[in-house]
Structure 1
Amino acid sequence: MTPDTADYAGIDELEATERNLERYLRRKCGLIMSLLEGKQIFEVGCGIGSFTRFLSEKGYRIFACDVSARCLNKAKQRGIEATFVQLDICDAKASTELSNRFDSVLMVTVLEHIQADDKALLNAWSLLRNRGVLVVLVPAFKFLFSELDRELGHYRRYSESELKKKIRKAGFKVEYSRYWDLLGLVGWALKCKLMKSTRVAQDLTNPLFDKIYDRWLSLETHIILPFGVNYIVKARKVKQRSVDAPACRKIGF
């Protein structure tokens, strides 16, 4: 599936999540930000800027990319203080012109959209300064793969072992990992897997649900559970490549 064929369902869900699950988004971003290091952040697959806006509020210097011009246009219209660029993380440009410039690379629900996810991780390695960190959040458990995954342009969901293996192979050392959002796992299994629904956030219009969900996630943040709809990894760039990265030229950041 090409990026723009996945835009329609994806953008609808992104906008509905912001509209109906603001507390959930803030809680999720808070967890992610606790894993970032430094101030120079490269956000892969920024979408409509859902996370970018929270990062900007906290004073991070953000270089945000996406393959979708439609998503980027929406993100740019929001007045977020960030550099937005249409860029495929698998392109050579990501590993040459922008190499060794960032303290952290962030991939939140992005890697599953990329067919060559191994190439994306290799390029993420190149973007980072020595001992920079990669923070990845992906949909967990292969058995939960559903029609909504297909609608959103997902190639896969991940097992814990598969994700860690790919990250290590790209030259990282895994320092922290966990499942997150047990209620989301239950909801996804019931609504998307059993009921075959292709809508989630668009149907959650009761503000009370967002409050209850947030209360649960505030507790879960302090408890490592063996299940969750997402899997999160923080990994550090440690492996030196045999061939030095080409000299990069600055492109407006």
Structure 2
Amino acid sequence: MRRSLLTRARTRHRLHGSNLLSQSTTEGLKVGADTYSSAIADAQNYMNWVIDQFRPYLKGAILEVGFGHGLYSRVLGELGDYCGVDHDRESVERAAKAMPDRKFAICDILVRDQLSSLFPQGVDAVFTINVLEHIEDDATAVANLVQVLKPGGHLLISVPALMLLYNDLDRLAGHCRRYTTARLAKLLADQPVELVRLNYFNPIGGLGWLANRLKRHQSLNDSAVNGQIALFDKYAVPLSRALDPLSRSFFGQSVTCIARRL
């Protein structure tokens, strides 16, 4: 029986033996738990909502770029032939230990050869949530992710929205920017893709992020920050889901994008 694409990926690039790390261009970026509040890993209602935005396109060979807390990894592994990549060795090793039934590999997405070596036959879906905002050269990152897609595959992106909302939490997480739909569309304009959907997402979360501009934050793991996340997930997600269709064209905490590879 022919081995799966992701089994080959893991065989070619063992977690402790990737010789591609010498080409890394992402040194100095914040990594792992330094980029998010710990409570987000328990925000199951919100995570389910995010997955629901992309679920019809999550099938076949699925590549997750920047798996963070790993909650998406657990779900995506049930939907297709999953592999998660990150440029940070410790994050990859930690994820592989926590989820031995999932595939993980070290990869710097700014180096196209690393992606093509890991996935020589391409993938059906690239899923990347809150990653591009950490990368100064986001144009190269997007171009490389498009190139690893098979024709007809889908690039699934969610990034923080609107510089109006930028606050201490963005700075602490290492965000270079927040996005508009226009900026993300411009990144994809010269790529061999067609936009399936591009919109703002999560209006109540956006209002909460705006309110956080009024307060100084010293840590992503401040009890007040984690408390906000827990309350939002428990009580506000249903309301935000209901309002989302009304605000997609102009406001939200995030920008979500679905683009099909030509």
Q: Do the two structures share a fold, i.e. TM-score over 0.5?
A: yes
1:44 to 51, 59, 65: 65
Runs of at least 5 residues in structure 2 that lack an aligned partner in the other structure: 1-25
CA distance in 1, matches of 2:35, 2:104: 19
Report the equivalent of 2:34: 9
CA distance in 2, matches of 1:103, 1:136: 14
**How much does 1:60 deviate?**
1.5
Q: Summarize deviations over 1:76-114 as a string: whole Å, max 9, x none.
A: 232253210111111133343124421111111111111
Alignment of 1:81-230 (within 5 A): 81-97=101-117, 98-191=119-212, 193-197=213-217, 198-199=219-220, 203-205=225-227, 209-220=232-243, 223=246, 225=248, 226-230=250-254
Report the equivalent of 1:232: 256
Query: For this pair of structures, how many residues does the alignment match?
Result: 232
TM-score, normalised via structure 1 length: 0.81
Contact 1:47 1:68 in 2 (8 A): no
Q: Secondary structure at the match of 1:26?
A: helix
CA distance in 2, matches of 1:69, 1:145: 29
Contact 2:133 2:177 in 1 (8 A): yes
CA distance in 1, matches of 2:191, 2:102: 27
Q: Summarize deviations over 1:16-42 as a string: whole Å, max 9, x none.
A: 2123x22222222222324x2532111
Residue identity (%): 24
Amino acid aligned to 2:39: A
**How much does 1:232 deviate?**
0.4
Q: Secondary structure at the match of 2:51?
A: helix
Contact 2:172 2:220 in 1 (8 A): no
Report the equivalent of 2:16: none
**23 and 8 in structure 1: CA distance in 2 versus 1, 3 angstrom threshold:** closer
Report the equivalent of 1:70: 90
TM-score, normalised via structure 2 length: 0.79
Runs of at least 5 residues in structure 1 that lack an aligned partner in the other structure: 239-253
**80 and 218 in structure 1: CA distance in 2 versus 1, 3 angstrom threshold:** farther
Alignment RMSD (CA, Å):
2.4
Q: Secondary structure at the match of 1:134?
A: strand
CA distance in 1, matches of 2:45, 2:152: 32
**How much does 1:62 deviate?**
0.9
